[in-house]
Amino acid sequence: MSLVRNIPDKADGAVSGVLSNETTKASSDLEALERLNAASSQLWHCADLAEGLKAILASTIQTMGASLGNVQLLDPRRNVLRIAAQNGFKKEFLDYFAEVSTADESACGRALRAKERIIIFDVETEPSYEPMREAAREAGYRAVQSTPLIGRHGTPLGMLSTHYATPYAPNQRELRLLDLYARQASDFIERCHIDDAIRASAERERTRTRELEAAEKHREFLVAELKHRVKNTLATVMALWQHSCTKAESLEAAKKSFAARLLALSNTHTSLGEGNWNGASLTSLLEGELRPYVGRDRANVEISGPDLHLNARAAVMMGLAFHELCTNSAKYGAFSSTQGKISTTWTMADGKMRFEWKESGGPPVSPPARRGFGRFLIERGIASDFGGDVDLNFDPGGLICRVTLPLEKLLAAEQRLS
């Protein structure tokens, strides 16, 4: 009778053990799912890739009963894995596995190559792991698993690895939970990539908008500058024509004088155009006007002075002034004689430019009976417009023209800064 009575007791004990074991598993699964849900809630509000991966990794390590772990991201251009989040490793390990390629025999390298999970039960007995055993010993793990992170469209994204202090192989229940974490990590990585792409696209659009706005402002500036220059050029041309007609003895003489002055203006504009209208060289303007009169050995012309980069307005006025001085010299002064010579010098001091045009060797000079356009341009145009002083000395030995002008009104912006 006692034997019969004991049978139900043993059966009850076995059932109770099974129920207890299943209850423990269910409780463990519930905790794992609660951790997964908590991680999902945290990721929903997380915008930082590294922070989100650390949260996923921490939950994965706890669920898998691992002691260490890391998440690597794939660089698709070089097809290498780089650690983006880690838990428990020292710098030596992180440096050793800084980059892992498909040629690497580590668990993550093999998983990247095979595009499937790799589990190494014991790194001490795994032949392929021999080159990395010392690193594993120093890090303190004996077993490792690496699970590829795959995007929704099959694109490799990275690797989720957990490491164990003793030889170990995750059971099917753990692997199913691991797959859930891997899916969660993959979705988070893809979301971050999409967010990055959206931000980059938005920044490109903002940059494009700024460029368009800047281009429009530049266009408006160019139109305004063009209107200003055209207006000034037309005013200058009209003044040249009026003075050419007023002072000329005949219409033919007026035409000839006007054409020469217009050519001088054109040459100055050409020099300005070569510098994008930022200014022109005083030396180049002077040499351009003197060129038709220079002898073969240049003995009749002397030029001395530092090169100045004049602003556009000053370049136009100085170019016309040089033309008038050359024309006057060719008619009445040094250039009208084979023995004539012209010396031009200029210096800079005390914020001013002092320019001197000195003729010698030509016919005797006397003050003109009437004020011509050249004199009007130099005395009124240059001196008044630029706030300087002009001294025209009609010395019998040759004309001497001295001009003193403030540098701040003459120089182009870049030379003023220098």
pLDDT class of 2 with cuts at 50, 70, 90: very low
pLDDT class of 288 with cuts at 50, 70, 90: confident
pLDDT for 137 equals 96
The rounded mean pLDDT for the chain is 82
Of the candidates 371, 355, 261, the residue with the CA atom closest to the CA atom of residue 316: 261
Selected residue with higher pLDDT from 53 and 269: 53
Checking if the pLDDT of 269 tops 90, the result is no
Query: What are the φ/ψ torsions at residue 400 (nearest 5 degrees)?
Result: -125, 120
Of the candidates 96, 74, 231, 228, the residue with the CA atom closest to the CA atom of residue 156: 74
Give the residue carrying structure tokens 């556009």: 312
Which runs of E-coded beta strand occur in 16-155?
A: 68-75, 80-87, 99-101, 118-120, 143-150
pLDDT digits (tens, 9 = 90+) for 100-138: 988 889 999 999 999 999 999 999 999 999 999 999 999
Selected residue with higher pLDDT from 83 and 324: 83
Contacts of 384 (CB under 8 A, 6+ apart): none
pLDDT for 219 equals 75
Cα distances (angstroms) measured from residue 140 to each of 68, 88, 94: 9, 10, 13
Average pLDDT over residues 238-264: 63
pTM over cut 0.85 = no
pLDDT for 275 equals 56
Three-class SS state of 411: strand
All structural domains of the chain, each given as residue ranges with its CATH number in brackets, are 23-200 (3.30.450.40), 276-417 (3.30.565.10)
- Give the integer Cα–Cα distance in Å for 189 and 196: 10
Selected residue with higher pLDDT from 411 and 113: 113
Checking if the pLDDT of 31 tops 70, the result is yes
pLDDT for 328 equals 85
Give the amino acid at 185: A
- Give the integer Cα–Cα distance in Å for 203 and 307: 45
Of the candidates 286, 291, 279, the residue with the CA atom closest to the CA atom of residue 315: 279
> Which residues does residue 344 pair with via DSSP β-bridges, in sequence order?
303, 357
> Which residues does residue 81 pair with via DSSP β-bridges, in sequence order?
74, 100
pLDDT digits (tens, 9 = 90+) for 58-67: 999 999 999 9
Q: Worst-scoring range by mean pLDDT, 15-19, 346-350, 407-411?
A: 15-19
Quick check: 343 and 360 in contact, CB under 8 A? yes
pLDDT digits (tens, 9 = 90+) for 321-374: 888 888 888 888 998 888 999 999 999 999 999 999 999 999 999 888 777 767
> Which residues does residue 357 pair with via DSSP β-bridges, in sequence order?
344, 401
The helix or strand, by DSSP H or E, that contains position 20, with its residue range, turns out to be helix 2-44
Which token pair is 236?
A: 């200058």
Checking if the pLDDT of 226 tops 60, the result is no
- Give the integer Cα–Cα distance in Å for 18 and 11: 11
Quick check: 156 and 186 in contact, CB under 8 A? no
Query: What are the φ/ψ torsions at residue 133 (nearest 5 degrees)?
Result: -65, -40
Query: What are the φ/ψ torsions at residue 120 (nearest 5 degrees)?
Result: -110, 110
- Give the integer Cα–Cα distance in Å for 294 and 323: 14
pLDDT class of 249 with cuts at 50, 70, 90: low
Of the candidates 175, 161, 186, the residue with the CA atom closest to the CA atom of residue 93: 161
Q: Worst-scoring range by mean pLDDT, 8-22, 35-49, 257-271?
A: 8-22
